Amino acid sequence: MRTAVVPQAIRDWLSKPKALLIDGKWVAAQSGKTFEVHDPATGEVIAHVAEGDKADIDLAVKAARRAFESGPWARMTPSERGRIIHRIGDLILQHADELASIEALDNGKPKAVAKAADVTLAADMFHYMSGWATKIEGKYINISALAAPGMQFASMVRPEPVGVVGQIIPWNFPLLMAAWKLAPALTTGCTVVLKVAEETPLSALRLGELILEAGVPAGVVNIIAGFGETAGAALAGHPDVDKVAFTGSTEVGRLIVQAASRDLKKVSLELGGKSPNIILKDADLSQAIPGATAAIFFNHGQCCNAGSRLFVHKSIFEEVVEGIAKEAAKIKIGHGLDDGVDMGPLVSQVQYDRVTEFLASGEQEGARAVCGGKGLGGKGYFVPPTILVDTNPGMKVVREEIFGPVLVAAPFDDADDTLIAEANNTIYGLAAGIWGKDGGETQRIANRLKAGSIWINCYHVFDAALPFGGYKQSGWGREMGQAVLANYLEQKAITTRIG
């Protein structure tokens, strides 16, 4: 893969030291250490970033605590807070091109996709959440207080910010995941220490600059780049963090819960998936085929909600698989900064090894690759779109989350209990897709699937107003929508004796 032309403005920005945001200032790590960030399309080093660890997390948590307990943020009205959060969204849109370039270079995704999806949705998350700042309401309750006969009380329930929040995010949508986490925490009046993924720290660091420009007071948002086992673990177990919000793998989710359990911090988790995508026999294949292609191959399959298990009615199985393979053949693979590229590399050597090991295991267990099936090798971490057939439910490629451009496809007889049982036969429950013309049938299936998001005749439709999160081992709590506010609020019941 040739080196793409990196815009001059991005080169200038990258050439400046990449520090940690603590208490409103950009600072080097206490240890003085930095780590390399790579362009996944070439493997070349694009930046050196300060490597935060426990000492930096301690400083950031102290700053966040101070900002939460005193200072301008603690005194700010919801209206002022909302306006600042809205301004962050505006600044993201003003810097859309630049942010999309950074994302393409750091994560590998095509710049056009980063601009249309990641950047647009990140800005919208701040815009949408800014409106909630003035709409978080409590309750007045007429209580009966049976154990206090003859007395009268007035009770209210006051929502309050949970406090200092530790947020840990992954590398697949670096800017968007930062937005999903930061926007609701700020809306509710919390303060934050955000630990970004070591593979892709750059767009969140640029976002940190925009957050300061928007007028967020010092210490309210602290951003630490660093590794999971050091900075991440220190944050998840920090005694002065009130709540941990995590997005990432189910395995690390378990470690987060263990770390947070020592002092019973509040925890919300958005974890892995192995989502079923069902094509019924009456589906409009002109929609379902491209839809199923995007469901798995969007973002190179590096989506927790990817439609990675395809179930197709047996009467149209061959036609659909062939159709998806044809669509896959049209996907142009290349550097995310090059025009016309549809699919970039996987994010890292680690992910490349992981996905290609899954491909080898599929082959060993008897699955057949209709297209793709092997990593491209050479420079960069490219794996082509792959469809595996002749699978069975016991295979590793069918059971486990691959987090790469690998679809497993199986035929079904009738949309009966067996299909539902098979679709639900997973430890995960994040998303599902259903394609069909009979509205009653698609609804009935939707009602029986155990997943947090169901898309009928569409896929990957995200909106800041819609809750997103998982059943089963896909997580705890919801991101986005009104629902996410609960992650960051305590409910205080205040009772006054009035007679």
Residue 345 gets which letter from DSSP? Answer: -
Asked whether position 198 contacts ligand ADP by CB under 6 A, the answer is yes
For ligand ADP, the binding residue among 134, 249, 361, 424 (CB under 6 A) is 249
Asked if 424 contacts 450 with a C-beta cutoff of 8 angstroms, the reply is yes
Binding piece for ligand ADP, criterion CB under 6 A, among 249-257, 314-322, 338-346, 486-494:
249-257
Binding of ligand ADP by 88 (CB under 6 A) = no
Q: What is the rounded distance in angstroms from the CA atom of residue 478 to the CA atom of residue 470?
A: 7
Instruction: Check if the beta carbon of residue 159 is closer than 8 Å to that of residue 491.
Output: yes
Extract the tokens encoding 441: 């049938």
Taking CB under 6 A as the criterion, the residue among 232, 273, 291, 433 binding ligand ADP is: 232
Is residue 197 a contact partner of residue 249, using CB atoms and an 8 Å limit? Answer: no
Interaction between residue 354 and ligand ADP (CB under 6 A): no
Under the binding rule (CB under 6 A), the answer on residue 40 touching ligand ADP is no
Q: In which residue are the tokens 């699978």 written?
A: 391
Which residues 6+ apart lie within 8 Å of 364 measured at CB?
none
Cβ distance to ligand ADP smaller for residue 248 or 345: 248
The answer to whether residue 362 forms part of the interface with ligand ADP (CB under 6 A) is: no
- Please, which contacts does 138-143 make with residues 24 or more away whose CB atoms are closer than 8 Å? 143/495
Dist CA 174 CA 164 (whole Å): 22
The 3-class SS string of 206-264 reads: HHHHHHHHHCCCCCCEEEEEECHHHHHHHHHCCCCCCEEEEECCHHHHHHHHHHHHCCC
Nearest to 347, CA basis, from 107, 5, 15 = 107
3-state class of 318 per DSSP?
helix
Residue 292 or 296: the one with the smaller Cβ distance to ligand ADP is 296
CB of 109 to ligand ADP, least distance (A): 14
Closest to 180 measured CA to CA, from 451, 475, 461, 464: 464
Nearest distance, CB of residue 288 and ligand ADP, angstroms: 29
Cβ at position 454, least distance to ligand ADP in Å: 23
Minimum distance from residue 301 beta carbon to ligand ADP (Å): 12
80 is catalytic: no
In the complex, least distance from residue 197 CB atom to ligand ADP, rounded to whole angstroms: 4
Among 255, 312, 320, 419, binds ligand ADP (CB under 6 A): 255
**The only residue of 108, 159, 166, 170 in contact with ligand ADP, by rule CB under 6 A:** 170
Return the residue matching tokens 């056009």: 112
Nearest Cα to Cα of residue 479 among 490, 463, 458: 463
**Residue 38 parent element (H or E):** strand 34-38
- Respond yes or no: is residue 357 known to be catalytic: no
Comparison of 271 and 333: residue with beta carbon closer to ligand ADP: 271
Assess 174 for contact with ligand ADP (CB under 6 A): no
| 129 belongs to the binding site for ligand ADP (CB under 6 A) | no
- Report the alpha-carbon distance of residue 266 to residue 262 in Å, rounded: 11
- Residue 233 interacts with ligand ADP (CB under 6 A): yes or no: yes
Q: Is 236 in the site for ligand ADP (CB under 6 A)?
A: yes
Catalytic residue among 270, 327, 401, 479: 270
Residue with tokens 């002092």: 263
Query: Per CB under 6 A, does 300 bind ligand ADP?
Result: no
How far apart (Å, rounded) are the C-alpha atoms in residues 372 and 363? 12
Span near ligand ADP by CB under 6 A; candidates 150-158, 167-175, 180-188, 285-293: 167-175
Q: Please, what is the minimum distance in Å from the beta carbon of residue 219 to ligand ADP? A: 21
- Binding residues for ligand ADP, how many (CB under 6 A)? 17
Using CB under 6 A as the binding rule, whether residue 168 contacts ligand ADP is answered as yes
Tokens of 237: 């177990």
Selected from 195, 266, 300, 335, the binder of ligand ADP by CB under 6 A is 195
- 252 belongs to the binding site for ligand ADP (CB under 6 A): yes
Q: Which of 69, 229, 339, 357 binds ligand ADP (CB under 6 A)?
A: 229
- What does the binding site for ligand ADP look like in residue numbers (CB under 6 A)? 168-170, 195, 197-198, 227-229, 232-233, 236, 248-249, 252, 255-256
Q: Which residues are catalytic?
A: 270, 304
